Structure formats: structure tokens, C-alpha cells
Structure 1
Amino acid sequence: MAEAINIETERVKTRIDYTSKIKPLVCATKRGEGNDEFYCPLAITIDKMTGDIHITDCHNHCVKVFDSTAMYMFKFGDSNGEGKTFYPRSLVICRRRILITHNHGILNYSLDGKFISRIGKQGKGKLEFNCPWGIAINESNDDIFICDFDNNRFQIYSKEFQFKSQFGSFKYPHDVELSHEYIYVSDKSNPCIHLFNHNNILLKSVISLGQGNQVINPLSFFIDNSNNILITDYNSNSLSIFNLQFQSIHYIPVSEHPTAVTVDNHDRVIVVCYHTMNCLQIF
């Protein structure tokens, strides 16, 4: 039986004025294989110390790094060998390294693009994955949370990649975000968002039905510093913002098929989009 959710333990307020974010300040759009071009950008994360933007460029098999003004800096991902980056999906920064989900494992790189190690292999056991996707870090202890997409489960590892636990009775967990109290997991098969506590107990499932007040296809999401939930709606080409009770705050029209969203230290909303646009937008 699901536990009651004690909303009072979380900060519930709207600090960022999302209603002011009408048109993008920056829109970098070009499909291709060049340095400042994309072919299926899937995920995005911000280096909080520098403001640099890291994006997985899936079909170009690399991670591309841009500065805070969206100017290209460099890319990384070996074309062969142990560090080969094969269809990178999601990424997260932890202790000045970057962890990338790809193929059937996790790649560990330094932030300047140097390969460190490869973790995991294909399978259903511990340190085994079948198309890992979303990845997040628990900032209190550096535990690593991974959506094991085709194994229909969720795995948790220590910062040294020692197995801790797994859970889930859903199909195709796609993205994960953490707040102080909760674990949010998007379920691509339903589609919906599941809310767990840190004892891995399911508290609530939010079924997504329509545009505006609710979203159609919650592909990925981000929790801002005020615990508002930003969700990319892949089908309706919009970004929906909810408070912790999943009440609608606002939604922002974006380019075609948004795949990922984040918020930087200057409260700018940063979105990447797939399909014909293949772009990076900053609001």
C-alpha cells in the first residue's frame, strides 16, 4: 500500500518566473556531424562550477560540450577501444567526472574528455544492464541511480559502483531525478511518472493524459531548486512545469520533439530537441 506523502517536508514554492520564458534567448539549430551540429541529442547536464553544457549526441556517438553562451568547446568519446561511445543516452556529473549511459554499460570520463573506465556489461545480474538510460546522483552520499530500461528495473550503486539495491515493477523506466525526499522515475510504456521514497516504496503514480495541465508523453524531466518539476512533452512539443503536488504552473512551447531539459545557475531553462530541428534552446 502506498504511503501518504508529507508535502510539508519539502520546499514548495515557485522561485523562477517561468511565465516570462516565452521565446528562446538562444536557439542553436543544425543537423549534421560537425562540431556545433547534432544528430539526435538525447540528454543534457550542466557543470555547476563552470556553467558548461554537456549534451549526449546519440547518433554522432559522442558527448559535446558548450559554454554557457552555447558556443561549442570540444567533444569526446572514443571511436574504438574501451572508451568507445556507442549511442550515448544520458549523463550526470559527479565529483568532477562524468558518467554516461550507453549501449549496455556506463562510461566514466573526466570532464576534460579523458576516458577513465567502463562499468558493466549486458545481462540481468549485478553490474549488468540491458539498454541503461536515465542516471542520477544522490548528492547526500553520491549513490548512483540508473534506469535499466530493457530489464524493466531500477538499480542503485555506491560511488565506487558497489551494488546496493534494485527495484521496480514497471516497464521501460526512462529517466530519473532525485529530490531530498523522493525518487522520480518516468515510465515510457504507460506513460506516467512514479514517485518513490528513498526506501524504494512507491508513493504515487501520475498518469499523463493531455497538454497544458498534464503532459502526453513525459520523456524526461528535471527538479529545480524550488522542487518544481520540469517535464519535456515529446509529442506536443512543449515543456510543462508542475509544483510538487503535480499542479500545473506553466508550459512553454519549444521546438519539435524535446528530449531533455535542465536549469542552470542563472535560472535559464535549457532544452534539447530531436527530429527535424536537432537543436539546443536556452530560455
Structure 2
Amino acid sequence: MATSNPIGLEPVEDNFERVRTGIDYSSKMQPLVSISQREIGNIEPKRPQGVTIDDRTGDIYILDWFDNCVKVFDSTAKYMFKFGHRRGEGMMSYPKSLAICRSRIIITQNHGILNYSLDGEYISRIGMHGNGELEFSYPWGIAINESNNDIYICDCSNNRVQILSQDFQFKSQLGSFKYPRDVKLSKEYIYLLNNSNPCIHLFNHNHILLKSVISRGQGNQVINPLSFSIDISNNILIADYSSNSISIFNPEFQSIHNIPVSKQPTAITVDTHDRIIVVCYHNVNCLLIF
């Protein structure tokens, strides 16, 4: 595996009781690890669209849009295994995003969602094409409410977010927003990203819109945001596909830092050790860890 400056990239250990403080993003200008498909061959994600972390182990799960599968790396970015059906009920078709809910991993794809175990065993498929309950049109970002395991799914072309129970029953929805692409939850808020301007919408957990923030467009704060993450201090990290950067905003939505990346970042997450994991669509340096 090709790496750059792997010093300090040790296996993640369970340590959920430690005191969390603000992250010094100014120290994160160069990646600890940089994986390139030119150097690794078929192991690396060719066209990654989504990334998530198993907080219990630090394992990194990456959706590969090109190979229609999930590729799994350990906390040191060592390749472990991949999974995904190419035929039948569990077939992946242009997967977009993924999230871990208890011992399962939930994947959005064309007009539905897939339910797999964390070791790659297919469990079920939910949804069909349409605009009713449990019907989808190009679902994208996905998030889990840690308090009750509700599943929030950006139903992109239906301009809404569907909210399902952990056993995949329809509960409610948020709408209407043009092309919602990603959704994240904190204890206090629901954050929704879309391709309009402003691009971040902030709700409370009663689904009341509080504000819409962060300008989008050439010459503004972000150009083409595709994915985002919320860190332990409620800072917002946005993967800006067209500017080849990670734009970081504080909880008051003020720009505080910008991290350049290699090419076209499509998804981002932050792990329990404050490392930033970014996947990029272009075929150079497609997995970065800061």
C-alpha cells in the first residue's frame, strides 16, 4: 500500500471516555496517508462516492461506484476485504452513500437502499422507484440518529429527506429542498446539504427550520459541495468537489480553514481520533487521511 508520512497512524483503540477538545485544523495541511489506484491496482476504490467509519474498530468503509461494491480498510488504511453482489436481490447499482446502524451497514443506491452486515453479508433491500412512502428517486446521503437509530435518507430527486425507523418503517419526512445531497445529525440539530444557495439548512429535532447558511457559487464560500461531516465541536467540514478542497466552518458558520486535496473530493468523515478521512472521485490519491 502506498503511503505518505504514516508516522502517528496507529491502530484506533476504543477510548470513548476521553475528554474531547477542539481540533487544530491548521496542522492538517498534508495527509498522513494517501492511497493511489495507480500504485495499488484493484484494491483501491476506483470511483469512491461514500465513506463511513465503524467507531468501535476504526475500520473504514468506502463505497466504490465503479465496481459496485464496498471496500473495507482497517484504521491504519490497510486493505481488509470487499463485498457487494453483482446479481440478484443484493446487487449494488451505482451506490451513493452509506452509514452504520448498530451491527448493520445501510447503503443508498439507485431508487432504493440495501441492508448488509458489517462483514458483508447481504440482509435485505428496501424501497422502489417512486415518490411515495418508502419510494425513492436517486437517494443519496444517509445518517443515523444515535438516540433512537432512526435512519435519515436524502431522497434527492424527490427533493426531500425520508425518515425511517431502524426496522425500515416510514416515520416522516423533511422537505422540500432542491436536490438534498447529504444529511448529518448532532445532539441538538439536523444539518442538510443541497445544491441550492444557501447550501446548508439547520433544523431542530422537531423538524423546524432554524436557518439556511453558507453561500454557494463561484467566488463565494463553496462552489460545488457534495458531502460534509460534523466534528465533535460541531464544526462543519464540507467536501467541495469543484474547488478540490475541504472547507471548514465553525458552529457559527464562519469560515475557519481550508484544506487542499488532490482531485474532486466526493465524501468526508471524521473519526473518533479527530482524523479526517476523505475520498476523491479522480483516480489519483483517492483515499486521504489527515
TM-score by length of 1: 0.91
The yes-or-no answer on 1:201 pairing with 2:208 is yes
Q: Is the 8 A contact 2:46 2:283 kept in 1?
A: no
Aligned to 1:4: none
Aligned to 1:70: 77
Aligned to 1:23: 30
Residues 81, 210 of structure 1: alpha-carbon distance in 2 compared, 3 angstrom cutoff? closer
Aligned to 1:5: none
Gaps of 5+ in 1: 1-12
Residues 171, 61 of structure 1: alpha-carbon distance in 2 compared, 3 angstrom cutoff? same
Cα RMSD of the aligned pairs, angstroms, is 2.0
Q: Is the 8 A contact 2:48 2:281 kept in 1?
A: yes
Q: Deviation string for 1:121-165 (max 9, x for gaps)?
A: 111111111111000000011111000011111110111111111
Task: Give the SS at the match of 2:66.
Answer: helix
CA apart distance, 1:37: 2.5
The yes-or-no answer on 1:246 pairing with 2:247 is no
Q: Deviation string for 1:83-115 (max 9, x for gaps)?
A: 101111100001111000011111000000000
Worse-matched range after superposition: 161-170 or 73-82: 161-170
Residues 216, 49 of structure 1: alpha-carbon distance in 2 compared, 3 angstrom cutoff? same
Task: Give the SS at the match of 1:216.
Answer: coil
Worse-matched range after superposition: 240-249 or 102-111: 240-249
Q: State the AA in 1 paired with 2:81.
A: F
Q: Deviation string for 1:179-238 (max 9, x for gaps)?
A: 111111111244611111112121111142468982222211001111111111111111
Q: Is the 8 A contact 1:171 1:188 kept in 2?
A: yes
1:46 counterpart (48, 53, 56) = 53
The yes-or-no answer on 1:233 pairing with 2:218 is no
Gaps of 5+ in 2: 1-19
Residues 264, 249 of structure 1: alpha-carbon distance in 2 compared, 3 angstrom cutoff? same
Aligned to 1:257: 264
Q: Is the 8 A contact 2:197 2:216 kept in 1?
A: no
1:136 counterpart (125, 143, 150) = 143
Aligned to 1:221: 228
TM-score by length of 2: 0.89
Instruction: For 1:109 and 1:32, locate their aligned partners in 2 and report how far apart those are by CA, in whole Å.
Output: 30
Q: State the AA in 2 paired with 1:263.
A: V
Aligned to 1:9: none
Aligned to 1:113: 120
Residues 144, 245 of structure 1: alpha-carbon distance in 2 compared, 3 angstrom cutoff? same
Task: Give the SS at the match of 2:105.
Answer: strand
2:98 counterpart (91, 103, 115) = 91
Q: State the AA in 2 paired with 1:150.
A: S
CA apart distance, 1:35: 3.9
Q: Is the 8 A contact 1:172 1:188 kept in 2?
A: yes
Aligned to 1:57: 64
Q: Is the 8 A contact 2:198 2:212 kept in 1?
A: no
Aligned to 1:160: 167
Q: State the number of aligned residues.
A: 271
Q: Is the 8 A contact 2:214 2:253 kept in 1?
A: no
Percent of paired sites with the same residue: 70
CA apart distance, 1:263: 1.2
Instruction: For 2:216 and 2:83, locate their aligned partners in 1 and report how far apart those are by CA, in whole Å.
Output: 38
Residues 32, 123 of structure 1: alpha-carbon distance in 2 compared, 3 angstrom cutoff? farther
Q: Deviation string for 1:31-81 (max 9, x for gaps)?
A: 699542222101100011111100000111001001111111111110101
The yes-or-no answer on 1:282 pairing with 2:289 is yes
Aligned to 1:10: none
CA apart distance, 1:278: 5.8
Residues 114, 197 of structure 1: alpha-carbon distance in 2 compared, 3 angstrom cutoff? same
Q: State the AA in 2 paired with 1:126.
A: E
Aligned to 2:152: 145
Instruction: For 1:18 and 1:212, locate their aligned partners in 2 and report how far apart those are by CA, in whole Å.
Output: 23
Instruction: For 1:219 and 1:268, locate their aligned partners in 2 and report how far apart those are by CA, in whole Å.
Output: 20
